[in-house]
């Protein structure tokens, strides 16, 4: 090879290297917007951790081949519209939203950014998607069937405390429909429901439990929402202090010392949201991705708490538990 040919070869090689470097630099790293109902920047919580695990399992490394913009409600519902608007303005590639209020805000804010939901609602009945099989539009994801399990929770509470006749139900603004979901089962089981409504942003939880005791409630249910996530430990402590057998809609309460929960596997739901993100980033359209429903539900019992409040869990009920904390 002559000198001229060598020079041409080297110049060509240098130009190819520059083009490759430029291509690597200009390759866009996808950006995801994730608004969490629980946790905060210093302690992200189980929703974020499960989602992160889902991303890692799919080969995504935050800061390298994917970027995630996290926003935390921290029990402050008035933050929701602003945070959603901010993520939309950032032009994220995908939005992951967990609370009904966040989903409503995003549905109004964008018709183009793909939205992955993990919702307690029936998304068809709520008008979020056209159908589970064919969502249509820019929204898909998972429903946790939280509301559909309300009656089952009351039945399990009755199995554990056969003499239960009055159940205090802790709920907050925006959860009135969720409270009503317990009414048909309560009538069938001949249980009175005592409404314990809480208003944020500084909820009077002590006052609610005093009202429950004064009203002679002999069991207790918490309707999950972003506000109560922030006070999860306090709610559990107050229920146990008043020796109220408690049922929760999320297993995180039982992990924190609550008595029982019945729900789909929440961590698995948030982990599965990452699978939807992966499909969208690889070119799938939200309208074509069916909304998933859970097929497995978990009944969790904390025996340590049962002993603390002086309650004996029937052996027949323990046999039905998917997880027993001792």
**Is 134 a domain residue?**
yes
- Using CA atoms, how far apart are residues 119 and 277, in angstroms rounded to an integer? 16
Q: What is the pLDDT of residues 84-105, one digit of tens each?
A: 999 999 999 999 999 888 999 9
Range of the domain at 315: 147-264+298-325
99 and 214 co-located in one domain: no
pLDDT at 20: 47
| Residue 265 dihedral angles phi and psi, to the nearest 5° | -75, 105
305 and 194 co-located in one domain: yes
**Is 19 a domain residue?**
no
87 and 211 co-located in one domain: no
Token pair recorded at residue 308: 């603390």
124 and 271 co-located in one domain: yes
Instruction: Determine the 3-state secondary structure of 223 from DSSP.
Output: coil
Name the more confident of 70 and 6. Answer: 70
Longest dimension (CA), the chain: 100
219 and 275 co-located in one domain: no
**Is 17 a domain residue?**
no
130 and 163 co-located in one domain: no
From the list 110, 103, 124, 241, the residue with the least C-alpha distance to 174 is 103
Lowest model confidence (mean pLDDT) among 9-18, 114-123, 127-136, 222-231: 9-18
**Is 8 a domain residue?**
no
Confidence of residue 227 (pLDDT cuts 50, 70, 90): confident
pLDDT at 229: 84
**Is 1 a domain residue?**
no
- Using CA atoms, how far apart are residues 141 and 110, in angstroms rounded to an integer? 16
Q: What is the pLDDT of residues 143-183, one digit of tens each?
A: 998 889 999 999 999 999 999 999 999 998 778 888 999 99
Number of domains present in the structure of the chain: 2
**Is 215 a domain residue?**
yes
Token pair recorded at residue 247: 């049922």
307 and 285 co-located in one domain: no
**Is 18 a domain residue?**
no
Confidence of residue 2 (pLDDT cuts 50, 70, 90): low
Check which CATH number belongs to the domain holding 256 and give it.
Answer: 3.40.50.2300
Token pair recorded at residue 3: 């000198």
**Is 20 a domain residue?**
no
128 and 187 co-located in one domain: no
Name the more confident of 19 and 65. Answer: 65
247 and 286 co-located in one domain: no
DSSP string, 190-224: T-EEEEEEE-SSS--HHHHHHHHHHTT--EEEE--
259 and 282 co-located in one domain: no
Contact 73, 200 (CB under 8 A): no
Q: What is the pLDDT of residues 272-309, one digit of tens each?
A: 999 999 999 999 999 999 999 998 899 999 999 999 99
51 and 89 co-located in one domain: yes
39 and 171 co-located in one domain: no
């Amino acid at each position: 090879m002559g000198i001229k040919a060598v020079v041409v070869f080297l110049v060509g090689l240098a130009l190819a290297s520059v083009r490759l470097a430029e291509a690597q630099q200009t390759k866009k790293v996808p950006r995801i917007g994730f608004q969490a109902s629980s946790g905060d920047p210093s302690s992200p919580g189980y929703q974020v951790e499960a989602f992160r695990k889902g991303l890692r399992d799919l080969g995504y490394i935050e800061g390298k081949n994917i970027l995630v913009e996290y926003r935390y409600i921290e029990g402050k519902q008035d933050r929701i519209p602003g945070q959603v608007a901010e993520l939309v303005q950032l032009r994220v590639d995908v939005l992951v939203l967990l609370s009904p209020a966040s989903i409503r805000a995003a549905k109004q804010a964008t018709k183009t950014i793909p939205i992955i939901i993990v919702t307690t609602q029936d998304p068809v009945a709520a008008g979020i998607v056209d159908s589970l099989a064919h969502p249509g539009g820019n929204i898909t994801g998972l429903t946790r069937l939280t509301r559909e399990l309300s009656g089952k929770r009351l039945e399990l509470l009755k199995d554990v405390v056969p003499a239960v006749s009055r159940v205090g139900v802790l709920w907050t603004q925006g959860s009135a429909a969720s409270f009503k979901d317990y009414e048909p089962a309560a009538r069938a089981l001949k249980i009175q429901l005592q409404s314990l409504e809480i208003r944020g942003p500084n909820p009077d939880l002590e006052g609610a439990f005093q009202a429950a005791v004064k009203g002679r409630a002999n069991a207790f249910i918490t309707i999950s929402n972003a506000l109560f996530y922030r006070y999860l430990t306090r709610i559990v402590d107050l229920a146990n202090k008043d020796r109220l057998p408690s049922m929760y809609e999320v297993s995180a309460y039982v992990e924190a010392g609550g008595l029982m929960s019945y729900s789909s596997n929440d961590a698995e739901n948030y982990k599965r949201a990452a699978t939807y993100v992966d499909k969208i980033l690889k070119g799938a359209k939200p309208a074509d991705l069916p909304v998933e429903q859970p097929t497995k539900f978990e009944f969790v019992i904390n025996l340590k708490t049962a002993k603390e409040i002086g309650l004996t869990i029937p052996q027949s009920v323990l046999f039905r538990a998917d997880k027993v904390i001792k």
